[in-house]
Structure 1
């Protein structure tokens, strides 16, 4: 019987003679990158506030310094840090280290549940290690797809593989939920929650502790670039185009520069010495949220910013050829402009120079949630683990032996 099947009627002979105190669900939450920290923090906080869950956080260190600066700010305590990163290591090497290290942690912690988020190598390996240890997996931000197996690379493959392992699929939108059902995931295992990034964004803005990185009164353009498929000559050409955008003289570009050597080698020669470009180290999340709230326009190849920008009314130009978040494009809050330098310049110039077009994108609204995704996730897990416990108690009391629900 599936853990997440719906409740059945139990006969009086099957019912437990007296209620037992509900057991605590020991939950291992696996994260390794800055976006995972941002999007799992609301789930960690919601579980910590619940009497039913004991959250245990393990980090893999996939983003090293970028991750370390996040966790304390977001109210996330960490029990284990695997510190798996090596300079310029191959994906195969990282994957082997992660599966081995996370398998060791799962055996030591013996959780009832493993939670992974999104589509990183950390998330894939967390799900795979849990599967090997026969521990059920919940996937937060499930169902995103581009339809192109190697774009983005390796994220599209990662999230599809996690979808074959997970027992709970917490989809951020109805489109993502429909995609999972179309792939054959049982409908009762798919739950639409909204995206937890909105939960965290609202929490951070309420804190009001961040500081914008912009320094002038010019039009403010926030730029983020890091994707593997954009690195190399393509990213150098994009950097040259962005230098031409800064040549306008009426804009300030702020670039929080990713720590990847490949990204720095591509962008710094083009942008570092331009007076209209401010290159800064990766911002902590409070400062990044304040910078995003302060900007006029976003140019990005990130996934998460496509979700955050619409909630603040910031038009986003997506510098990729595909997106797994078409909801923002369909709503009119984002535009997929690709990586061609001339197309990027044209699209950015149009928004900066055409007030009516800018207003249409800025007012399109946010299709990604209302800030209550984590509450919905915890409520569903509470319900399903409560059902499992009720059935197992009835079986134990009726037979004198323990036969756990599979």
Structure 2
């Protein structure tokens, strides 16, 4: 701890998913008041990150603005570690918090390691068992785990994965996933102020009476044949007259090149620009079925009792499979189509998935994390290992999107 002052914690992230999952932590830390909390963003994704920053009224203390068009992974990695290292030399924090499995998480952790600065890893312990699927995320999170001294695991399975890698039990804390905090709080704000999600409403009105199927697809390991097969499956699924497909298309050119030629012009498929988070939450809430290769949606959708079909060969979130909230269907055109039609046509199978409890948490993860940080950095506040009650309830603030 810095002598004579509050412990300084840097919260770092660089992508939209990280920002969504970390904003509850930022708000909880600042509401607690026991820490000097500073936010440093790498902006490895620029526009999509800014949507979340604007919505949650988080103004970064340092914005490295590292995104470059067509950037390679190695070039981005070198920029993150050197630029963030310079920030660490100026800020000299007592701890840095990183999230998940991005290049930002791994390279920030390495920069901290070189300076012997402690790292706390939010959403620790996810594993697929294959460093090339998801790629490069699996290696990113494994390297981060080696460096971190605090591991905030979303589930018991994640804890077990860390124990299997010889992480000390006393440094692992099962908190739930902060994305559930973000999701539930955002939904409450959208219900109270529908204008927050006004961008998606005309589309929902256009498809009124249809069963909404929400789709996301952007994983690097699916580039090429995988994305093409997904697009073909969606085109055939859209032949049903009882559904409408809403697909916020990732800005990566490889995704757009695969999707637009096969899906544009189909009357009940809406290929739209990426949504800000309130509109995205509203879309999920209105959906009857979700097809995705994303990780986060596997954690979010069960809170809305919405079945998820995972268009990947592996998942680092097997809890969703075990709980029955999601099914792994791969990227075969036939398999995707068969699984979607089964759920849409078989009420028993659909309700069996929709009725399951979300295995990823109850919306209190950020409070638990702050309690653990108090225990580690302010041990005088109590003797229990985790003091969740040391953190006040957090009222997140939101701004209406300019959409």
TM over 0.5: yes
Aligned partner of 2:83 among 74, 77, 101: 101
C-alpha deviation, 1:178, in angstroms: 1.1
Q: Aligned equivalents of 1:231 and 1:189: distance in 2?
A: 37
Deviation string, structure 1 residues 147-190 (Cα, Å, up to 9, x no partner): 11110000001111001000100000011011111110011000
2:297 is the alignment partner of 1:310: no
Where does structure 1 differ by over 6 angstroms across 4 or more consecutive aligned residues? none
The equivalences for 1:192-203 within 5 A come to 192-203=174-185
> What secondary structure does 2:25 align onto?
helix
> What secondary structure does 2:56 align onto?
coil
- Residue 210 of structure 1 is matched in structure 2 by 197
Q: Aligned equivalents of 1:369 and 1:63: distance in 2?
A: 27
Aligned partner of 1:326 among 318, 325, 346: 318
- Residue 107 of structure 2 is matched in structure 1 by 125
Maintained 8 Å contact 2:291/2:311: yes
2:262 is the alignment partner of 1:270: yes
Q: Aligned equivalents of 1:388 and 1:301: distance in 2?
A: 45
Q: Aligned equivalents of 1:369 and 1:36: distance in 2?
A: 17
Q: Aligned equivalents of 2:230 and 2:160: distance in 1?
A: 35
Q: Aligned equivalents of 1:82 and 1:100: distance in 2?
A: 11
The equivalences for 1:145-164 within 5 A come to 145-164=127-146
> What secondary structure does 2:378 align onto?
helix
The equivalences for 1:343-362 within 5 A come to 343-362=335-354
* TM-score normalized by the length of structure 2: 0.90
Deviation string, structure 1 residues 53-97 (Cα, Å, up to 9, x no partner): 121111111111111111121232211211212222211111111
> What secondary structure does 1:314 align onto?
coil
> What secondary structure does 1:73 align onto?
helix
Q: CA RMSD in A?
A: 1.6
Could you say which structure has the larger radius of gyration? 1
Deviation string, structure 1 residues 190-225 (Cα, Å, up to 9, x no partner): 000000001111110111132444331211000000
C-alpha deviation, 1:36, in angstroms: 0.3
2:161 is the alignment partner of 1:179: yes
Maintained 8 Å contact 1:22/1:386: no
Q: How many pairs does the alignment contain? A: 371
The equivalences for 1:3-402 within 5 A come to 23-208=5-190, 209-211=196-198, 212=200, 213-214=203-204, 215-216=206-207, 217-387=209-379
C-alpha deviation, 1:389, in angstroms: 11
C-alpha deviation, 1:304, in angstroms: 0.3
> What secondary structure does 1:72 align onto?
helix
Ranges in structure 2 where 5+ consecutive residues have no aligned partner: 191-195, 383-403
Ranges in structure 1 where 5+ consecutive residues have no aligned partner: 4-20, 391-406
C-alpha deviation, 1:388, in angstroms: 8.9
Q: Aligned equivalents of 2:317 and 2:77: distance in 1?
A: 26
Deviation string, structure 1 residues 368-404 (Cα, Å, up to 9, x no partner): 10111011100011111123999xxxxxxxxxxxxxx
Q: Aligned equivalents of 1:240 and 1:249: distance in 2?
A: 17
Deviation string, structure 1 residues 217-253 (Cα, Å, up to 9, x no partner): 2110000000000011221121011111112222110
Maintained 8 Å contact 2:125/2:162: yes
Maintained 8 Å contact 2:154/2:177: yes
